[in-house]
Structure 1
Amino acid sequence: MPAAATMKELTRRALQIDQAGRYPLFLFALRADEILDVADISRVSRDEAGNLIGYQRPEVRRHIEEIIDYLNNGDAIFPNPIILALSSRAKFRSSRGPGAGDGLATAGNLTIPLPQPGKPKPAWIVDGQQRAIALARTQRRDYPVPVTAFVADSVNLQRDQFLRVNNTRPLPRGLVTELLPEVDSPLPPRLAMRKAPSALCDVLNNDKASPMYGLIKRASTTKDRASRAVITDTVVVDMISESLTSSSGCLFPYRDMRRNETDFDGILHALFTYWAAVRDVFPDAWGKPASKSRLMHSAGIRSMGRLMDRVLGIVDPRTPNAPETIRQHLALIAPHCRWTSGTWNDLGLRWNEIESVPRHIQELSSHLIRLYLNARAELT
Structure 2
Amino acid sequence: MSEGWLERRALKVLQNAEVPLFLFTLAAEEIDLVADVSRIGRDEAGKLIGYQRPEKQKHVKQILDYLDSGDVLFPNGLILALPPETRFKSSRGPGTSDGLAVSGTLEIPISPEGEGPRPAWIVDGQQRSLALSRTKNRRMPVPVAGFVTQDLDVQREQFLRVNTVQPLPVGLVTELLPEIARVPSARMATRQLPSALVDMLNQDPDSPFYGIVRRASTSTDNKHVAVVTDTGLVEALRESIESPSSLLFPYRNIATGTTDTEGIRRALLAYWGAVRQTFPGAWGLPPTESRLMGGVGIRAMGRLMDRVMAHVDANAADAREQATAELALIAHRCRWTDGTWEDLGLTWNDLQNTPRHISALSNYLVRIYLSERMRRR
TM over 0.5: yes
Q: Deviation of residue 314 (structure 1)?
A: 2.2
Q: Deviation of residue 72 (structure 1)?
A: 2.2
Matched to 2:281, the amino acid is D
| CA distance in structure 2 between the partners assigned to 1:319 and 1:187 by the alignment | 39
Higher mean C-alpha displacement, 111-120 vs 231-240: 111-120
Q: 1:360 aligns with which of 344, 357, 361?
A: 357
Q: Which sections of structure 1, spanning at least 5 residues, go unmatched?
A: none
Q: 1:154 aligns with which of 148, 151, 159?
A: 151
| CA distance in structure 2 between the partners assigned to 1:307 and 1:8 by the alignment | 62
Higher mean C-alpha displacement, 72-81 vs 305-314: 72-81
TM value normalised by structure 1: 0.95
Structure 2 contact 12–23 (Cα < 8 Å) conserved: yes
Alignment of structure 1 residues 62-101 onto 2, 5 Å: 62-101=58-97
| CA distance in structure 2 between the partners assigned to 1:192 and 1:237 by the alignment | 12
| CA distance in structure 1 between the partners assigned to 2:291 and 2:41 by the alignment | 28
| CA distance in structure 2 between the partners assigned to 1:248 and 1:118 by the alignment | 59
1:122 aligns with 2:113: no
CA-to-aligned-CA distance 1:168-202 (integer Å, 9 cap, x gap) = 53101111111111112354212222111111111
Moved over 4 A (4+): none
The root-mean-square deviation of aligned C-alpha atoms, in Å, is 1.5
| CA distance in structure 2 between the partners assigned to 1:167 and 1:309 by the alignment | 34
| CA distance in structure 2 between the partners assigned to 1:251 and 1:128 by the alignment | 39
| CA distance in structure 2 between the partners assigned to 1:331 and 1:61 by the alignment | 49
Q: 1:273 aligns with which of 249, 267, 270?
A: 270
Q: 1:104 aligns with which of 91, 94, 100?
A: 100
Structure 1 contact 90–122 (Cα < 8 Å) conserved: no
Structure 2 contact 329–372 (Cα < 8 Å) conserved: yes
SS class of match (1:149): strand
Matched to 2:11, the amino acid is L
Q: Which sections of structure 2, spanning at least 5 residues, go unmatched?
A: none
SS class of match (2:234): helix
| CA distance in structure 2 between the partners assigned to 1:363 and 1:132 by the alignment | 47
| CA distance in structure 2 between the partners assigned to 1:234 and 1:7 by the alignment | 48
Matched to 2:222, the amino acid is R
1:248 aligns with 2:257: no
Q: Deviation of residue 321 (structure 1)?
A: 2.8
SS class of match (2:310): coil
| CA distance in structure 2 between the partners assigned to 1:186 and 1:355 by the alignment | 32
Higher mean C-alpha displacement, 185-194 vs 334-343: 185-194
Structure 1 contact 304–365 (Cα < 8 Å) conserved: yes
Identity %: 54
Q: 2:41 aligns with which of 41, 45, 58?
A: 45
SS class of match (1:99): coil
Query: What residue in structure 2 maps to residue 257 of structure 1?
Result: 254
Query: What residue in structure 2 maps to residue 202 of structure 1?
Result: 199
Matched to 1:24, the amino acid is P
Structure 2 contact 177–183 (Cα < 8 Å) conserved: no
Matched to 2:83, the amino acid is S
Alignment of structure 1 residues 1-380 onto 2, 5 Å: 8-116=4-112, 117-185=114-182, 187-380=184-377
TM value normalised by structure 2: 0.96
SS class of match (1:290): coil
Q: For this pair of structures, how many residues does the alignment match? A: 376
| CA distance in structure 2 between the partners assigned to 1:94 and 1:360 by the alignment | 63
